[in-house]
Amino acid sequence: MTKKILITGITGQVGSQLADYILENTPYDVIGLMRWQEPMDNLYHLTDRINRKDRISLFYADLNDYSAIARMIREIQPEYISHLAAQSYPKTSFNIPIETLQTNIIGTANLLENIRQLKEVDGYDPVVHICSSSEVYGRAKPGIALSEETQFHGASPYSISKIGTDYLGQFYGEAYRIRTFVTRMGTHSGPRRSDVFFESTVAKQIALIEAEYQEPVIHVGNLSSTRTFQDARDAVRAYFLLLEASEQGKIPCGEYFNIAGEEAFKLPEVIEILLGMSTRRDIRVITDQERFRPIDADYQMFDNTKIRSTINWKPEIPARQMFADLLNHWREEISKGKIPLNR
């Protein structure tokens, strides 16, 4: 029987690209968890296959609905689970802190608790990937590479929610021997990146300006941050290799890994790169106080030693190619008449 992988948050950038990777590189079937009202933009290229149930299908449920998650786990019983669903926007989390904490912490607990109970009843024993975030490290000291043992520092409700998610993944692995592992992905981008994130909103605004939907002015927030960038398509490859390694018993239950790019940029450098790819030469950049967070994770440099010693992986897509692909993504979307909000 063909093995199944459940991807929660399949409509997001990373979830949809993980689905693409699984369908292109493995024989496994994909089941995507989504709420019925979520936008399908990142899955339109797969809707024909979804309609035909050609190795990919959808399950409608909400992480906060315990009984719906219970029904999903009982019915599907996937061999692999990649738990990516979350309220994933740090700045937005300052406005909706309770929803962020509820979805990311309690939603993750709902998933893991249902797996635990089914394991006790009939021995169900999947490999479970819990997606945390590099935001758990918060405001780090400049000049220090973040390793997996760096102290957590909650710098937003989102960051705090991911600290809870991270600890839940570790706890259920250590306490109940569920084959969990936790990933803390650094800044990642490329096609399908949501426009609420820095480099994507810059690329989107450039594309809007080129199409004459916006005056030649880009609005940005805090530019003092320095961080590594990686393409999300590299990250999902790491996710899958870790799933395989865990199934093979090469990863202890509850283990945790940084996954980050190895090219670092100050945010003004990212703007310069994207502007250099534009067809316009008259674009100005303006700092907008409304785009600032109360606290920012303004230094994120990572140590990838642990993951590179566990699986045969390293980032392969150059950052400049990632930025070009991101800009072209927005150009293509806008050319189709999909005019995004200016945010």
CATH number at 19 reads 3.40.50.720
Tell me whether residue 267 is in a domain: no
Tell me how far apart the alpha carbons of residues 246 and 236 are, in angstroms, rounded to a whole number: 15
Whether residue 229 contacts residue 199, with contact meaning beta carbons closer than 8 Å, is answered with yes
Tell me how far apart the alpha carbons of residues 230 and 199 are, in angstroms, rounded to a whole number: 12
In 3D, which of 165, 46, 45, 60 has the Cα closest to residue 104?
165
Summarised one tens digit per residue, pLDDT across range 114-162 is 999 999 999 999 999 999 999 999 877 777 789 999 999 998 999 999 9
Summarised one tens digit per residue, pLDDT across range 308-331 is 999 999 999 999 999 999 999 999
Tell me whether residue 158 is in a domain: yes
Tell me whether residue 221 is in a domain: no
Structure tokens at 144: 């220090």
In 3D, which of 142, 217, 145, 153 has the Cα closest to residue 186?
145
Tell me whether residue 47 is in a domain: yes
Residues β-bridged to residue 165: none
Q: How many domains does the chain have?
A: 1
Tell me whether residue 340 is in a domain: no
Domain that holds residue 115: 4-189+230-259
Residue 283 φ then ψ, to 5°: -85, 130
Please give the angle made by the CA atoms of 188, 189 and 191, to the nearest 5 degrees: 150
Tell me whether residue 39 is in a domain: yes
Tell me whether residue 87 is in a domain: yes
Sequence-distant (≥ 6) Cβ neighbours of residue 28 within 8 angstroms: 2, 3, 4, 5, 22, 55, 80
Helix, strand, or coil (residue 165):
helix
Tell me whether residue 330 is in a domain: no
Residue 173 φ then ψ, to 5°: -70, -45
Task: Give me the pLDDT at residue 110, please.
Answer: 98
Extract long-range pairs of 329-337: CB within 8 Å, 24+ residues apart: 329/190, 329/191, 329/192, 329/193, 329/203, 330/195, 330/200, 330/203, 330/204, 330/206, 330/207, 330/208, 331/207, 331/210, 331/211, 333/207, 334/207, 334/208, 334/211, 334/213, 335/211
Task: Give me the pLDDT at residue 298, please.
Answer: 65
pTM for the full predicted model = 0.94
Tell me how far apart the alpha carbons of residues 3 and 13 are, in angstroms, rounded to a whole number: 23
Helix, strand, or coil (residue 4):
strand
Other Cβ atoms less than 10 A from the Cβ of 204: the count is 27
Walk along the chain (343 residues) in steps of 10 and give the mean pLDDT of each run.
96 97 98 94 97 97 97 97 93 92 98 98 97 90 85 92 98 98 96 93 97 95 86 98 98 97 93 97 89 65 93 96 98 93 78
